[in-house]
Amino acid sequence: MLSCALAMSGALLPLGSRVASAAPAPGADTAGDPYFPQDGNGGYRVGHYDLALRLDPDSKQVDATMTITAAATQELRSFDLDFADLGPVQAVVNGKPAAAEPAEQAKLVVTPDRPLPSGTTFTAAITYSFNEQEQAAAMGKSELPGWVQTSSGGVAKFGEPDGAEYWFPSNNTPDNKAPFTLALTVPEGWVGIGGGLEAPAVVKDGWATSVWKEPNPVATYLVPIAVDHFDVRRSVLPTGQPVVIALNPDQPDFVHDAAARYPEIMAFLQEKLGPYPHVAAGGIFIDPGLGNKNFGGALETQTRPVYVSTWEDPGKEVSVIVHENTHEWYGDSVSVRQWRDICLNECFASYLQWMWEESEEGADLDQKYRDHVQEQWDDQAYWGHLLTDMCDGREDECTAGDIMNGQGVYDKGQLALHALRRMIGEKAFSDILRGWPARHRFGNASWAQFEQYAQQTAKKDLGGFFQAWFHSGERPKDEYLFPGSLAG
């Protein structure tokens, strides 16, 4: 993603911790990530999401039902969902009415009529209604967090790691990904876009409903939703996956031209990263309306990244498309275990932009690297950005700006991966690029696992290299800063 959001402090629990009790007890109100303790919940694991959402783009009225299928991991007296207090909510658990009360930090506490036994599967249907404009005004905002309003009157979901809780209830942690079905109903004349496989829209009584099925696990912040007067272009990848590219009416010609290069970009990425892992592909290109506060560039929503394209630099958009689609391997198919592992997403997506310049534009990456190192040579603040474990010891004050820092995982991360490439050689680096997402396909992984995998693949002790580049706040010593051809 090319964006930042604010991390909030709160009570901390170890990742995956459960509230242990012989008697039924509430599930934990956190998934235990020390950097974003407000996100995710314990006591259950979601197995599937089924969202029926009706949205009127003109009034910004939302009426929806989210049906969650989950398994209890403890004797549950109640459980939390990540969902903001936006208006009236009704809950039904296993077919019977349940209490549902909002709590702090965008939580919805659901209490079934009877406890849920550990190890059993249950369904929770949450029906809700709210008006996005009214709720945003009540918060003193032009739009709710996680919403982008477009210049043509449409809207799209956008935000990392938060934002989903202003659209639908979920267990918003990347460590509990699940398949997602979206039935999106919009007024006739508007076009709704989701992720995964598309079923043709059905029109009834002036409303059009399209169904989008993502059969593979997806983190809830990566579920795409967009409604606009889209120009929709459909095609098929050579590997058979359907492609849906949607552009809202205000896109300039150079954005249309960039979107037209999607097949070329995907061919490049599959050559470097291996077979495309998902069932569908494409992109959503929108132009934000005046006063938009959520603009962050782009977000790698699964199968269909969202590009909020107020491009200031025509030509940059192709590189951004490369970046976001790299995430379909690094970030979406293979997701972080904790947010401290974000280099697994952003370092690689940023470096593939360099590799695109090398392959398609003839860039000399060694010289580009040396020039960039020289520019930053005496900048201690630049070298001080850690690429993993960046907030250890100061979790309470850590923000998303510390984790997804532009000079850190997006910039220094490019240098680090180029140095790794020169340290281990072309074949080993290529094997790692392709092998890592294949090994952890549709799962979660940590940076520590990557370091171990890279050393095994390269058949080389890289402990000193990883310490110098990823765990140290100092400029690496010359042996790690200028390995291989970089020494010349």
Indicate which CATH number applies to the domain containing 445.
1.10.390.10
Tell me which of 333, 349, 379 is where a domain ends: 333
Tell which residue, 35, 111, 43, 112, has the closest CA to residue 75.
Answer: 43
pLDDT of residue 403: 87
pLDDT digits (tens, 9 = 90+) for 116-149: 999 999 999 999 999 999 999 999 999 999 999 9
Say if residue 69 is exposed, middle or buried (CB neighbours under 10 Å; 0-12, 13-18, 19+).
middle
What are the distances in angstroms from CA 359 to CA 90, 315, 356, 423? Answer: 54, 16, 5, 20
Q: Which helix (H) or strand (E) holds 289?
A: none
From the list 323, 329, 328, the residue with the least C-alpha distance to 353 is 323
Of the candidates 295, 314, 333, which is a domain's last residue? 333
C-alpha span between 185 and 227 (Å, rounded):
10
Shared-domain flag, residues 102 and 222: yes
Asked if the structure places residue 191 within a domain, the reply is: yes
Same domain, yes or no: 156 and 136: yes
Whole-number Å distance between alpha carbons of 422 and 171: 41
Please give the structure tokens belonging to residue 444: 């979660």
Q: Which of helix, strand or coil describes residue 450? A: helix
Residues 322 and 410 grouped into a single domain:
no
* Same domain (yes/no): 223, 81: yes
Answer yes or no: is pLDDT of 249 > 90.
no
Mind listing the pLDDT tens digit for each residue in 68-114?
A: 999 999 999 999 999 999 999 999 999 999 999 999 999 999 999 99
Residue 410 lies in a domain: yes
The stretch 375-382 carries a mean pLDDT of: 96
pLDDT of residue 247 exceeding 90: yes
Cβ 39 vs Cβ 336: under 8 Å? no
What is the per-residue pLDDT for 204? 97
Say whether both 294 and 414 belong to one domain. Answer: no
Report the number of distinct structural domains present in the chain: 2
Least confident of 149-163, 246-260, 422-436, 474-488: 246-260
Q: Which pLDDT belongs to residue 291?
A: 52
Residue numbers of the domain that contains 428: 339-390+398-486
Query: Is the whole model's pTM more than 0.85, yes or no?
Result: yes
Whole-number pLDDT of residue 143:
93
Across the range 148-172, mean pLDDT stands at: 94
Looking at the fold, whether 310 and 445 belong to one and the same domain comes out as: no
Does residue 19 lie in a domain region? no
Q: Given a cut of 50, is residue 339 above it in pLDDT?
A: yes
Rg (CA), the chain: 22
- pLDDT digit string, tens, across residues 266-300: 999 999 999 999 999 999 999 876 555 444 489 99
Q: Which residues pair with 90 in a beta bridge?
A: 127
Q: Which residues contact 159 (CB under 8 A, 6 or more apart)?
A: 3, 5, 145, 146, 221, 294, 299
Instruction: Estimate to the nearest angstrom the gap between the alpha carbon of 339 and the chain centroid.
Output: 11
Residue 380, H or E segment: helix 380-383
Beta bridge partners of 173: none
Mean pLDDT of 423-444: 98
User: In this model, does residue 13 exceed pLDDT 50?
Assistant: no
The tens digit of pLDDT for each residue in 170-193 reads 999 999 999 999 999 999 999 999
Share of the chain above pLDDT 90, in %: 85
Q: Are 119 and 69 in contact (CB under 8 A)?
A: no
- Tell me the residue type at 116: L
Please check whether residues 354 and 325 belong to one and the same domain: no
- Asked if pLDDT for residue 482 goes beyond 50, the answer is yes
Residues in the chain: 488
Question: Mean pLDDT across the stretch 253-259?
Answer: 88
**What are the structure tokens assigned to 368, written together?**
């580009």
Q: Which amino acid is at 89?
A: V
Q: Name which of 55-59, 246-250, 380-384, 423-427 the model is least confident about.
A: 246-250
302 vs 279: CA distance, rounded Å: 10
Same domain? For 227 and 361 the reply is: no
Q: What is 23-83 written as a DSSP string?
A: S-EEPPS----SSSTTS--SSEEEEEEEEEEEEETTTTEEEEEEEEEEEESS-EEEEEEE-
Do 254 and 309 share a domain, yes or no? yes
The C-alpha atoms of residue 395 and residue 164 are separated, in whole angstroms, by 23
Average pLDDT over residues 234-258: 92
**Quick one: average pLDDT of 254-265?**
92
Tokens linked to 247: 């552009």
Question: Where do runs of H (alpha helix) occur along 82-187?
Answer: 132-138
> What does pLDDT average to over the chain?
92
Q: Cα-flanking dihedrals φ and ψ of residue 404, to 5°? A: -105, 60
Specify whether 102 is located in the same domain as 214. Answer: yes
Tokens of 406: 């532009």
> In CATH, what number is assigned to the domain containing residue 192?
2.60.40.1730
Residue 240 lies in a domain: yes
Q: Is the pLDDT of residue 17 over 50?
A: no
pLDDT average, residue stretch 247-254: 85
Least confident of 217-226, 328-337, 398-407, 472-481: 398-407
Q: How far apart are the first and last CA of the chain?
A: 34
Residues 427 and 474 in one domain: yes
Q: What confidence score (pLDDT) does residue 311 get?
A: 54
